[in-house]
Chains A and B, each alone.
Chain A
Amino acid sequence: MKLKINARTSEYIAKGFIWGAAMSVMIVLVAIIVYILVKGLPVINFSFLTTNPYNMGRSGGIASTIVGTIYITVVAIIIAVPFGIGTAFYLAEYTQENIITRIIRFSAESLAGIPSIIYGLFGYIFFVMYMGMGWSILAGGLTLAFMILPTIIRTSEEAIRAVPHIYREVSFSLGGTKWQTIIKTVFPSAIQGIVNGIILSIGRCIAETAAVIFTAGSVLSMPGSLFDSTRTMAVHFYILASEGISMDNAYGTAALLIIIIFLINVIVNALVNRFISKSK
């Protein structure tokens, strides 16, 4: 009898603890987001988004940093996506497990765990110095491409492996070649998962600071070409906040970042849900 009571008590305690932990995480998340939004949303208006910062960012808007962020993200995605998807198809479709796939997968997973500051160091020494790109959108974008490559490889490989094997058998049995099977059957079925990975990577590019600050620099003027230095929104926020230049503009930038990240998450979830309901 005594044992039964203990079991029940510990059940209640454990349950209470787990609920408590989960709820406090929610509260912290809400606290962070609400705080930034309450302080930052009033700052955001049309002119904040469309005028360039001046006086170190003390006044004006953040237009050039938005443009810089977009440029860098686009460069990173354009470079990383074909390599990431190509690698994923190689891993999922072209080999059985062997020493080469093991090396590739180990590399991809190791790349995924490397801190972004290491990417920053690498981008600085390789792209900025060795390749002579200087602090530039190109160097920053390429560095981020290296950084998001493992994410794209992993999400794409998972999406490709999730395509039922029977689809491939059907395509082959209808006289399809390997290439036709991949293009006409596997790729369309996996595209949703692949796109999710890409969108997540876009989010990582936008949010990244350490890897871009040493590779793209922090010039505030509107970038004219890929070889110009630029300052992304995240870097701009960091400099404004840590050097105490303008708290208002810092909050505004942070609020905009959070809104963008939130939208990206909403899009990914909508895609995933549509995918799940479609496959049901």
Chain B
Amino acid sequence: MKKFKENLSGRIFLLFALSSISALALITVFIVVRGIPIISDVGIMDFVFGMNWAPTEGEYGIFPMIVGTVAVSLGAGLIGVPIGLCCSIFLSEFAPPFITTVFRPAIQLLAGIPSVVYGFWGLIFIVPLIRDYLGGPGLSILAASIILAIMILPTVVSISEVSLLALPRQYKEGALALGLTHWQTIRCVMLPAAKSGIVAAVILGIGRAIGETMAVIMIVGNAVAMPESILDPVRTLTTNIGIEMGYATGIHQEALFATGIILFVVIMILNATAQYITRKKSG
């Protein structure tokens, strides 16, 4: 009887675990089933590399949005990653304890603020600044990049800080004992040693930028056209879904799910890469 109960508890936990995985399977299946028909109708090449998005006229090319997504998230990475890395070095190496006790919760708070609030703040603050001082409509790749850079900070900071703090103390002590300065120790010993964690942090941060929707909708302009400069408005894969999902029906809706598939695949590749990098380190 006791043995039976023991096995039962294990089985129940396994059941929970299996249900959790099937969630991923379920999401994949339903998005793919809904989006695949249009991709096969239009053709994967024409869908991905098509320049025109005009659902009402039966044109489904998402290349400008792919360019938009890449531009916006690359911009976010270029701004956000260095700042985030600095913050994590600051937290793990330089910050006096009383600042750490404020700074770390502050970064957490940054992660908790609703994305629509960021978008709104960008609309009120960043967009007019860009419009007045740099020109263009303000709603632009640059505006979205700046806001996304702020939004990915918590991801970049927390993961890279953890990998810095996880380094054995001997690394640092050994380097300092050899007469390196603090900064040389960080640059030549600690950062290289924590490289895989930092790379994973960057990848996951970029992944967040690619996936963000609501904040981007509010500040990126959403024009379906190839951008010529970072001051031009673009549309990203996520905003395409976010904007048109409300009214799309039939084939148009399928096209949005197909956009979702592309997004899904990109994110899965990024995640798998990040997981592979961190796993290789620990394994």
Cβ B114 vs Cβ A104 within 8 A? no
Minimum distance in angstroms from A15 CB to a CB of chain B: 7
- The interface bits of chain A over 91-112 (1 if a CB of B lies within 8 angstroms of the residue's CB, else 0) are 1011000000001101111110
Cβ B114 vs Cβ A32 within 8 A? no
Minimum distance in angstroms from A75 CB to a CB of chain B: 16
User: In this assembly, does A117 line the interface, its C-beta being within 8 Å of a C-beta of chain B?
Assistant: yes
- Find A265's partner among B89, B109, B120 (CB 8 Å cutoff): B109
Chain A residues closer than 8 Å to B108, beta-carbon distance: 265, 268-269
User: In this assembly, does A114 line the interface, its C-beta being within 8 Å of a C-beta of chain B?
Assistant: yes
Cβ B271 vs Cβ A109 within 8 A? yes
- Find B113's partner among A31, A214, A261 (CB 8 Å cutoff): A261
Minimum distance in angstroms from A198 CB to a CB of chain B: 14
User: In this assembly, does A24 line the interface, its C-beta being within 8 Å of a C-beta of chain B?
Assistant: yes
Which residue from chain B places its CB closest to the CB of A241 in the assembled complex? B120
Cβ A18 vs Cβ B86 within 8 A? yes
User: In this assembly, does A242 line the interface, its C-beta being within 8 Å of a C-beta of chain B?
Assistant: yes
Chain A residues closer than 8 Å to B94, beta-carbon distance: 15, 18-19
User: In this assembly, does B140 line the interface, its C-beta being within 8 Å of a C-beta of chain A?
Assistant: no
Bound-complex Cα distance A182 to B214 (A): 42
Q: Enumerate B206-254 residues with CB–CB distance to A below 8 Å.
A: 207, 210-214, 217-218, 238, 241-242, 245-246
Q: Enumerate B1-19 residues with CB–CB distance to A below 8 Å.
A: 2, 5-6, 9-10, 12-19
Q: Enumerate B41-73 residues with CB–CB distance to A below 8 Å.
A: none
Minimum distance in angstroms from A104 CB to a CB of chain B: 5
Chain B residues closer than 8 Å to A36, beta-carbon distance: 117, 121
Cβ A103 vs Cβ B263 within 8 A? no
Minimum distance in angstroms from B19 CB to a CB of chain A: 6
Chain B residues closer than 8 Å to A26, beta-carbon distance: 103, 106
Contact A113/B267 with A82-B16, A179-B9 known, Cβ cut-off 8 Å:
yes
Chain A residues closer than 8 Å to B263, beta-carbon distance: 115, 117-118
Chain A residues closer than 8 Å to B257, beta-carbon distance: 121, 125
Cβ A258 vs Cβ B117 within 8 A? yes
Chain B residues closer than 8 Å to A111, beta-carbon distance: 23-24, 27
Contact A22/B270 with A110-B24, A121-B31, A264-B112 known, Cβ cut-off 8 Å:
no
User: In this assembly, does B34 line the interface, its C-beta being within 8 Å of a C-beta of chain A?
Assistant: yes
Contact A21/B116 with A7-B181, A113-B207 known, Cβ cut-off 8 Å:
no
Cβ B14 vs Cβ A21 within 8 A? no
- Find A241's partner among B18, B30, B116, B211 (CB 8 Å cutoff): B116
Which residue from chain A places its CB closest to the CB of B275 in the assembled complex? A109
Which residue from chain A places its CB closest to the CB of B260 in the assembled complex? A121
Contact A121/B245 with A18-B94, A115-B267 known, Cβ cut-off 8 Å:
yes
Cβ B112 vs Cβ A207 within 8 A? yes
Count residues on chain B whose CB falls below 8 Å from chain A CBs. Answer: 86
User: In this assembly, does A275 line the interface, its C-beta being within 8 Å of a C-beta of chain B?
Assistant: no
Contact A179/B6 with A113-B207, A125-B257 known, Cβ cut-off 8 Å:
yes
User: In this assembly, does A78 line the interface, its C-beta being within 8 Å of a C-beta of chain B?
Assistant: no
Chain B residues closer than 8 Å to A83, beta-carbon distance: 16, 19-20
- Find A107's partner among B20, B89, B211 (CB 8 Å cutoff): B20
User: In this assembly, does B272 line the interface, its C-beta being within 8 Å of a C-beta of chain A?
Assistant: yes
Cβ B271 vs Cβ A110 within 8 A? yes
Bound-complex Cα distance A210 to B245 (A): 11
User: In this assembly, does B184 line the interface, its C-beta being within 8 Å of a C-beta of chain A?
Assistant: yes
- The interface bits of chain A over 204-234 (1 if a CB of B lies within 8 angstroms of the residue's CB, else 0) are 1011111001100000000000000000001
Interface centre among B2, B113, B117, B242 (most CB of A within 10 A): B117
Cβ B30 vs Cβ A25 within 8 A? no
- The interface bits of chain A over 58-97 (1 if a CB of B lies within 8 angstroms of the residue's CB, else 0) are 0000000000000000000000001111110111011000
Query: What would be 22 A-B contacts, judged by CB atoms less than 8 Å apart?
Result: A7-B181, A7-B183, A14-B186, A17-B86, A21-B82, A35-B125, A90-B10, A104-B20, A113-B211, A116-B211, A117-B213, A121-B245, A121-B256, A121-B257, A121-B260, A125-B34, A149-B23, A237-B114, A238-B116, A242-B217, A242-B218, A265-B108
Using A35-B125, A178-B6 as known contacts, list a sample of 16 further A-B pairs with CB atoms less than 8 Å apart, ordered by residue number in A. Answer: A7-B181, A11-B183, A11-B184, A14-B186, A18-B90, A19-B90, A91-B17, A94-B14, A117-B260, A121-B245, A130-B30, A177-B6, A209-B116, A234-B114, A242-B217, A268-B108
Interface residues of A (CB under 8 A from B): 7-8, 10-11, 14-15, 17-22, 24-26, 28-29, 31-33, 35-36, 82-87, 89-91, 93-94, 103-104, 106-111, 113-122, 124-126, 130, 146, 149, 153, 177-179, 182, 200, 203-204, 206-210, 213-214, 234, 237-238, 241-242, 250, 254, 257-258, 261-262, 264-266, 268-269
10 shortest interchain CB distances as A-B pairs: A115-B211, A86-B16, A21-B86, A207-B114, A90-B13, A90-B17, A22-B90, A113-B271, A107-B24, A261-B112
